[in-house]
Copies of this chain bind each other. A is one copy, B any other.
Amino acid sequence: MAAPGPSRLSLNTATVKTQWTLAQAIEGCARHGYGGISPWRDKLAEMGLKAAKRAIDAHDLAVTGLCRGGFFSAKDWRDDNRRAIEEAHALEAQCLVLVVGGLAPGSKDIARARERVQECIGLILPEARAAGVPLAIEPLHPMQAAERACVNTLEQALDICDALGEGIGVAVDVYHTWWDPKLEEQIARAGRRRILAYHICDWRVPTRDLLNDRGMMGDGVIDLARIRSWVEAAGYSGFHEVEIFSELDWWRRDPDEVLRTCRERHRTCA
């Protein structure tokens, strides 16, 4: 398996969220030879949609995803997801990533939260299809089930996709899924049709925080080459998007160092 080149690399802007604006991240991607970018919507709102689109096009970057829609546990989920679809359409994003939300406030009923996720996605899916925006359900690690996403395995996400039909798939993030005994099987099940994005980073030992202590590729215990081989065997030939939330380390470093390190580790470890 050949080492992947930087043109296959995409920067999820959360990786440098404390250091750079979206304008700076776009220029950083171009400077370091990345082929893609995946912006978060707060950064996009700061920069403005049109300015962002112009800058992204000027540097010929692919938009490998827009982060994020979902959070169906929130009161304004309907309008917020409508806007997210519009923005993803305007950016020609390859997908809108759905972080589906956790339990309803005050509720312990995770089964109901899960039903609701499927119902809500069913309601926004026609708009997404009409806009040509594929929806990518991102299963999050079970430790984030209560607060961020009650979809926690690829199997569960694919069951939802199967129930809803076309225009929907998954974002496979190694951080959230590496531990899953059924990962290989479910990646094969997903296949080219359902894998809309592939996110990389690493799992640190020890992990010091449930949200913001992700590791740089190569600094943890995830067998990235093996998981990539599964994703490729399933027919995925898209970008490798680096997404590292790192309060204690990478968010404190010079962002050019971060992008250089991602590029190097992508070549040697991913």
Contact = CB atoms under 8 A, between A and B. Distances in A.
Interface of A: 103, 107-110, 114, 141-143, 145-147, 150, 152-153, 155-156, 178-181, 203, 205-207, 210, 221-223
Given A142-B141, A181-B114, A181-B152, A222 B147 contact: no
A152 B205 CA distance: 17
A181 B156 contact: yes
- Decide if the interface of chain A is mainly helix, strand, loop or mixed: loop
A146 B221 contact: yes
A6 to B, nearest CB: 24
A133 to B, nearest CB: 26
B207 A142 contact: no
A178 B146 CA distance: 10
26 contacts: A103-B221, A107-B221, A108-B221, A108-B223, A110-B178, A110-B221, A114-B181, A141-B142, A141-B143, A142-B142, A142-B143, A142-B179, A143-B143, A143-B210, A145-B179, A146-B179, A146-B205, A146-B221, A147-B205, A147-B206, A150-B179, A152-B179, A152-B180, A206-B210, A207-B210, A210-B210
A80 B178 CA distance: 29
A183 to B, nearest CB: 9
B222 A179 contact: no
A9 to B, nearest CB: 21
A77 to B, nearest CB: 20
